[in-house]
Chain A
């Protein structure tokens, strides 16, 4: 375990986030034309890809002081820790022993996964609804990387990726969005249905195949070919803005029609979080979601959202273990989690 220091704080993009849209992330998939794609390449070729990308990164002006981490050297908890911080994907955290790396920029805004499904997955995460900035920064990093690398690119199909679902721009623009009022008022399925019909994907907060927990959803584009990056980003932003409006309206309605019930539910959530002696990860997410809603609609004015952001990440299993500096069993983690929550809520609010 090697991330004790990093584990005590959250990434910058999350620290500042106070809105319904918590964060905006852009990912660019790129491959090197001289090598087979990751799943089909020989081990020694993958090692060469890691070496090449690492070397090019060192000269990148956006990646000064970046951490270059060889995933082979990490234990399971370390890799899960990076996943919990959204620095690597779930897939990248699995498959121990493969030639894989992650390059993490200053303040954790930028991360580049090497030898995930594609040779490079350049990720930029910003606070709130800000996909355009995330895309601009990702593109600038990409421009510099490209000078030292030969990308697989076709005039006709654009950037060539291992999976045809990413061909073209290689772009996935996604927003993490908190929709408790739509969930409470049971309108969420309709909204998400509409999202899927607009060629967008809805996922849980840890990407493909993960469940939506704590009323947090990820909305992203499905189409990467035939539209420019700016168009894709605009479509996702527009969809996010629409959903946000519906969430706001649902919140207003809750306040007029169910004020007492909602207030009660938020107060109880606060009570449980402040006094529980042992608490699971799932319950924590549900209760934090209620408090966040309370803070947003002025029913829990004393709650500082940045504390909630902190708790969202620090109470995750690998974070608790990094902070403790040792492996903990699930019941041990539940005790540690409850203690951490009590401490943070009492001191900061």
Chain B
């Protein structure tokens, strides 16, 4: 097979990409693959900008694996009191979470929602579950309309501030949430 990029050399490397949820494979020659890799890196960088300086100040005592996930929401890092927030149910504090990268109980997802959502988005590219629903969850459980309202408000703010990447995320989430409600007969 010939390289799908230059069409001259033999394709030796599969370059796999997921763009907007679409999975594509390009068969490239060595040279094109290398170039594509460079491009890929640039794309990733602009997509997930890193803020090493600010970040290192905030989480200087942190192992690198964790820092990677905490990095993107450094802008949202609130004054020191964030560290002190404790889950009312299990007592885990935000600083406990940062040490182990493990939450304490299911309630923690509510308690640390503000911090967790940007992190989940950073890790998974989404914060809305699309998969299996346990049969015990009532079919008509609704996502409170307030939440969609809140998301729409955030969307407007993001557009105002010209944060288009964030806006695009929010738009997708609103759509996914609305679609989910429709599917479940809620809304």
| Partner-B contacts on A (CB < 8 A) | 31, 33, 35-37, 39-40, 117, 139, 142-143, 146-147, 150-160, 162-165, 167-169, 171, 187, 190-191, 193-195, 197-200, 222-229, 231, 235, 238-239, 242-243, 245-246, 249
Tell me the nearest residue of chain A to B116, going by C-beta.
A164
A222 to B137, CA, bound (A): 26
B158 at interface by CB-CB < 8 Å: no
* Interchain CB contact under 8 A, A37 and B105: yes
Known contacts A117-B102, A160-B109, A164-B120; A191/B14 CB under 8 A: yes
A36 to B104, CA, bound (A): 6
Within 8 A of A (CB), among B14-31: 14-18, 21, 23, 25, 30
B128 at interface by CB-CB < 8 Å: yes
Known contacts A191-B14, A242-B25; A155/B105 CB under 8 A: no
| Contact indicator per residue, chain B 114-151, by CB within 8 Å of chain A (1) or not (0) | 00100110011111111111111100010100010000
* Interchain CB contact under 8 A, B105 and A226: no
Q: Say how far B83's CB is from chain A's closest CB, in angstroms.
A: 17
A184 to B156, CA, bound (A): 54
* A-chain residues with CB within 8 Å of residue B129 when the two chains form the complex: 154-159, 168-169, 225-226
Tell me the nearest residue of chain B to A117, going by C-beta.
B102
* Interchain CB contact under 8 A, A36 and B37: no
A324 to B48, CA, bound (A): 53
A142 to B33, CA, bound (A): 42
A195 to B13, CA, bound (A): 11
* Interchain CB contact under 8 A, B120 and A157: yes
| Partner-A contacts on B (CB < 8 A) | 12-18, 21, 23, 25, 30, 33, 37, 40, 44, 69, 90, 92, 100-106, 109, 116, 119-120, 123-137, 141, 143, 147, 176-177
Q: Of A31, A195, A227, which is within 8 A of B130 by CB?
A: A227
* Interchain CB contact under 8 A, B25 and A226: no
* B-chain residues with CB within 8 Å of residue A171 when the two chains form the complex: 131
* A-chain residues with CB within 8 Å of residue B130 when the two chains form the complex: 168, 226-228, 231
* A-chain residues with CB within 8 Å of residue B132 when the two chains form the complex: 139, 142, 158-159, 169, 228-229
Q: Of A143, A154, A187, A239, which is within 8 A of B13 by CB?
A: A187
A168 to B92, CA, bound (A): 21
Of A39, A169, A225, A243, which is in contact with the most chain B CB atoms at under 10 Å from its CB? A225
A147 to B135, CA, bound (A): 8
Q: Of A153, A162, A163, A243, which is within 8 A of B14 by CB?
A: A243
Count of chain A to chain B residue pairs whose CB atoms are closer than 8 Å in the complex: 157
* Interchain CB contact under 8 A, A36 and B90: yes
* A-chain residues with CB within 8 Å of residue B124 when the two chains form the complex: 167-168, 223-226
Q: Say how far B111's CB is from chain A's closest CB, in angstroms.
A: 12
Known contacts A168-B129, A235-B23; A197/B15 CB under 8 A: yes
* Interchain CB contact under 8 A, B16 and A164: no
Q: Of A36, A155, A238, which is within 8 A of B141 by CB?
A: A155
A277 to B94, CA, bound (A): 56
Q: Of A40, A142, A197, A227, which is within 8 A of B21 by CB?
A: A227
Q: Of B18, B25, B101, B109, which is within 8 A of A157 by CB?
A: B109
A54 to B106, CA, bound (A): 22
Q: Of A199, A225, A231, which is within 8 A of B120 by CB?
A: A225
* Interchain CB contact under 8 A, A198 and B12: no
A143 to B136, CA, bound (A): 10
The 10 closest A-B pairs by CB, nearest first: A226-B126, A158-B129, A198-B16, A152-B106, A225-B124, A40-B104, A169-B131, A36-B105, A228-B131, A160-B106
A198 to B22, CA, bound (A): 10
Q: Say how far B51's CB is from chain A's closest CB, in angstroms.
A: 20
A147 to B106, CA, bound (A): 19
* Interchain CB contact under 8 A, B14 and A246: yes
A153 to B148, CA, bound (A): 20
